Amino acid sequence: MIKTSDICILISVAVAFVTTAFLWFQGVDTKQEALFTSTWIPSILTFAIYFKIIARKD
C-alpha cells in the first residue's frame, strides 16, 4: 500500500530529476549545477529508506 509520505518522496525525486535534466540541457554554463542537483536524488532515496527501516522497527 502506498502512503502519502511515499508519494511525497517520489514527487521530490521526480522534481530533482526534472531540474537536473533541465539544467543539463540548458547549456555549458549550467552543467555544474546539474551535477550538483543530480546528487540530491540518491540522497532523498537514502533518507526515505532509512526512515522506512526506522518505522518498521517500532
Q: Given this model, what pLDDT does residue 28 score?
A: 85
Nearest to 24 by CA among 10, 38, 14: 38
pTM of the full structure: 0.83
* C-alpha–C-alpha distance, residues 34 and 37, integer Å: 5
pLDDT tens per residue, range 8-52: 999 999 999 999 999 999 988 999 999 999 999 999 999 999 999
Query: Residue 5 pLDDT more than 80?
Result: yes
Q: Given this model, what pLDDT does residue 46 score?
A: 95
Q: b/e string for 30-39 if b means 16 or more Cβ within 10 A?
A: eeeebeebbe
Phi, psi of 11 (to 5 degrees): -65, -40
